[in-house]
Chains A and B, each alone.
Chain A
Amino acid sequence: MAPPTGPRAGTNASAARGKSTGIRRPGGGIQKQRGPVGGRTDRDGDVSMDAPGGAGATRGRKSGRSSKISERTTKNLLTYATSGPSKSRFANSVALKVTGLDLSSGDSKHISSVLAFLERKASKNLDRQLSINKSAVDGNSLFIQVGKDDVPSFLHLDGFTYGPATLGISESHEPWPQRKSRKGGLSESGAAIKERLQEVLFKRYDVNTRVLNLSALGQDEVLQSMGLFDAKDTAEKAFKALVHICNQQFETDKAKAEAIQGVSLASNALSTVTPVFDLALRFPRLKMLDLSNNNISNLRQLTKWRHYFQQLEVLVLTGNPIEKEEPNYKTELLDWFPKLQIINGQQFRSAQEIEAREAASRPRPIPQAGADFRDSDGVGENFIRTFFPLFDSDRPSLLSTFYDEQSRFTLSLISNGITTSTSVPSWQPYLKFSRNMAKITTDAGRSQRLFEGGAMIADLWKQLPATRHPDLTDFTKYIIDCHPIPGLPDPTRQSSAGVGGLVLTIHGQFDEMEPTTQNVGMRSFSRTLVLGPGPPGRNPIRVVSDMLALRAFNPLPGAPDPATLPAAAPGPVPTAPVVDVEEQKKQMAMALTNRTKMTLEYSAMCLDGTGWDFNMALQAFEEKKAQLPPDAFLPA
């Protein structure tokens, strides 16, 4: 994306010169004196040996000025050539500070003439032409760099008058002003222009309809007073700047698409969309576009936008010559913009039709078939009923019951996941233990992150955040598959063919509290557990392998058929932890605040309204959030 060429110092100047030279470096008062440096090549690519100056350099339309500049460059080149490379410009030069000038306009032409004036006056009564190596503007001070030997001649100009200004010239001991960085900043006048454009945008944005009205920009008093729409190319730049500034207001593309759903470009005398093409890049997800009362006469003038605006639903083209000159344009436009429903207020197709058409062009995902729970004698079901409550409340006793010296546990983070939640809790607590082998590729790293034996696993689980898995009876929050497999290690070592066991795969979610920061958040997980018979004298079931994959929260696909899931009888849940109800409510409110950025009071109110059901509260928030007053939210 080219940088915006509008709001900054120098725009006026380059526009005033007539044909502008396209993109120039933004933001600087620094003007390196440039000319035909580096020699010119002739047709055959040979370097022309003539000294680059004099008549040879006076090409182009601004012969008078460029001859002046090229003379200076010639001098520079000669100095460079005679005093050897590299050092001359720096070691043999001195920085001088010129004060007393009014440079606030940022007009580069003005600065050029000041420089020319200084050179001319300093060279007076000398047999050679003095030159300024480089210059820079900082506020109202002009810094110049001149040859060491020329310093007295320039200092002599102290007290001279230039127009209304009395010049002060002294040796500068300040550091050479740095070029303002492209990111940080704009020059003072640039920032002022930006601020005014922001005001214009603010005035032209309708919060209710979410439409940004950029119609009749030429008649805008503020823009007119800024002189931005006087010439054609400035108008285009001003438009780009407006769109760019508007774009800058949003942190995410989603927020942008949400806030600005429509743009009106009515009555801008547009004969083609080329000058306003940027809109398609900055606001690709617009739903409404108003181009009425412009000069668009045929589809060719719109083609630049053809493959953009794929979400466009409403288009207005009334008051354009195209209506008469290309009467069939609507059919074509419906083809260009797949979501387009309404042209000039007339509905051509419905959202349902578009949806149906889109569905017809999409592959059909393999359907979900409920749970595949091929348990053997309720072993898998009983295990799960014990497993999750114990994992949440008492990990050591879970380990001593089901895990032994050969049990293995690993966890993997899937950081690049699909998620509906806006704030994914930090992965920090898991990061160094994650064995995602797509990311951890060294043998040592993989070996380190494999936790073998109850003791090692216990040590790790102590460091992992506390979790709360939802109740197993809530079928919308779990998908649990289970099937038998042969060939697991026989702890009695009797069967060489191995013994049978179960593979359990559980997809679900849990709430988590990070131990040090007390941050509460929700995650999705997929956990695979392979169960085998335990050794004699121990628990009859052992965990052979336990693999936990964590990802950002995303609800499971449509609730599976409850009939195929284990029956909902209260299982043998041992030692349910005693929970302080008030404390639990407080934590829930904090969790909701964490997710929604509502204040604690509003979170509590919201939870109270849904009987302290976290997910219902979250749903209620999603439905009502547009209507909430601003003081319902934490200050940003």
Chain B
Amino acid sequence: MAAALREAQLKAASDGAKQFVDNYYICLNGSSQPLRTFYASSNAKYTSCAQPVTSDITVNGAVLTGGPDEYESMIKAQRQTPSGIETKVRYEVEGWDVHILNPDFTLACPENLLTPTDPDAKPDRRTKDNIKASLLLQVTGMISYGGDKEAPRSMFNDVFVLVPNWDTYVKNPARHARKWLVMSQNFRAL
């Protein structure tokens, strides 16, 4: 059954990462959703546990002490032209890849979920959808600065360590709650 568990974990990682990639860049391209909902530092379980976790965000080499909100304001400022007009900046994903980093991730995990994943257990719904793992996600894409065809473009590379949102590991999780949260991010425009 270990193989089945592995397949289930890989699938959960793939599906989770895909959902994250789809939603995250829509948000970056200017949806009304606050960016912080994607990050572990906005989740009480991570911020108030024994070893508090804050999301480590680096953008083009600068460490953002202000966290996701600082990144969001940078993204908003980026859309402004020097003359103060709001334009488009589009992040377009060209490729991504995900690894399971730690298949038994326990940081900030509530007590009741701490029973280690039994490799011989049947991959029931819980293990299928809610693997307790951290993920390494690398996204590559293109940014176009401006909405027109002549807009300057550059490549980007965005690396995330995603961790489970323990709040979704309950019977009736809040709707729209993100399953995976960003613990670390390293973004580069190339």
Contact = CB atoms under 8 A, between A and B. Distances in A.
Interface of A: 310, 359-372, 374, 408, 410, 412-418, 435-439, 443, 446-447, 450, 479, 481, 483, 485-489, 496-498, 503, 505, 507, 524, 526, 528, 530, 544-545, 547, 549, 551, 554, 556-557, 560, 564
Interface in B41-88: 51, 53, 56, 58-63, 74-75, 77-83, 85, 87-88
A414 B94 contact: yes
Given A370-B61, A487-B107, A498-B107, A408 B95 contact: no
B83 to A, nearest CB: 5
Given A361-B87, A551-B140, A497 B107 contact: yes
A489 B104 contact: yes
Interface stretch (B7-15, B118-126, B167-175): B7-15
A414 B77 contact: no
Contact of B101 (A367, A488, A497): A488
A566 to B, nearest CB: 14
B49 to A, nearest CB: 10
A361 B157 CA distance: 26
A490 B128 CA distance: 23
B190 A507 contact: yes
A7 B80 CA distance: 51
A363 B104 CA distance: 43
Given A361-B81, A547-B136, A551-B140, A483 B58 contact: yes
Contact of A361 (B58, B83, B94, B96): B83
B154 interface: yes
B97 A549 contact: yes
B27 interface: no
Contact of A447 (B7, B94, B186): B7
A496 B102 CA distance: 11
A447 B136 CA distance: 16
Contact of A547 (B18, B85, B97): B97
A483 B87 CA distance: 33
Given A436-B97, A487-B102, A505 B14 contact: no
Contacts of B107: 486-487, 497-498
B159 A528 contact: yes
Cβ-closest 4 pairs across A and B: A369-B61, A436-B95, A369-B62, A526-B157
21 contacts: A363-B81, A364-B80, A369-B60, A372-B58, A412-B95, A414-B94, A435-B97, A437-B95, A437-B97, A438-B94, A443-B11, A479-B61, A479-B188, A479-B190, A489-B102, A489-B103, A503-B186, A505-B157, A505-B188, A545-B99, A564-B61
B123 to A, nearest CB: 13
Contacts of A530: 101, 136
Contacts of B150: 310
Given A310-B150, A487-B183, A418 B93 contact: no
B13 to A, nearest CB: 9
B99 A439 contact: no
A363 B102 CA distance: 39
B74 A366 contact: yes
Given A437-B95, A526-B157, A372 B186 contact: yes
B140 A412 contact: yes
B36 interface: no
A359 B93 CA distance: 25
Among B77, B142, B163, B186, the most chain A Cβ lie within 10 Å of the Cβ of: B186
Contact of A544 (B14, B101, B151): B101
A481 B61 CA distance: 7
Contacts of B29: none
Contacts of B134: 487
Given A361-B146, A363-B80, A479-B61, 7 more contacts: A368-B189, A372-B58, A415-B94, A443-B7, A497-B51, A498-B107, A507-B157
Contacts of B143: 365
A548 B119 CA distance: 29
A557 B184 contact: no
Contacts of B159: 503, 505, 528
B79 A412 contact: no
Contacts of B56: 483, 485
B7 A362 contact: no
B5 interface: no
B81 A362 contact: yes
Given A418-B155, A437-B95, A551-B140, A368 B184 contact: no
B186 A360 contact: no
Contact of A557 (B82, B85, B186, B189): B189
Interface in B105-162: 105-107, 114, 134, 136, 138, 140, 142-143, 145-146, 150-155, 157, 159, 161
Given A417-B155, A447-B10, A549-B157, A505 B101 contact: no
B181 interface: no
A310 B82 CA distance: 22
Contacts of A545: 99, 101, 136
A489 B116 CA distance: 13
Nearest to A408: B99
Nearest to A552: B155
B99 A359 contact: no
B35 interface: no
A406 to B, nearest CB: 9
A481 B188 contact: yes
A549 B17 CA distance: 17
Given A372-B186, A414-B140, A498-B102, A362 B58 contact: no
Contacts of A496: 106, 114
Among A360, A363, A485, the most chain B Cβ lie within 10 Å of the Cβ of: A363
Given A368-B61, A418-B153, A549 B95 contact: yes
A142 to B, nearest CB: 51
Contacts of A364: 77-78, 80-82
Nearest to A435: B97
A503 B161 contact: yes
A437 B96 contact: yes
A446 B97 CA distance: 9
A486 B53 contact: yes
A310 B143 CA distance: 22
Contacts of A479: 61, 188, 190
Contacts of B14: 437, 443, 446
A524 B94 CA distance: 15
Contacts of B94: 414-417, 438
A606 B82 CA distance: 43
Contacts of A557: 154, 189-190
A597 B89 CA distance: 37
A365 B154 contact: yes
B172 to A, nearest CB: 27
Nearest to A447: B10
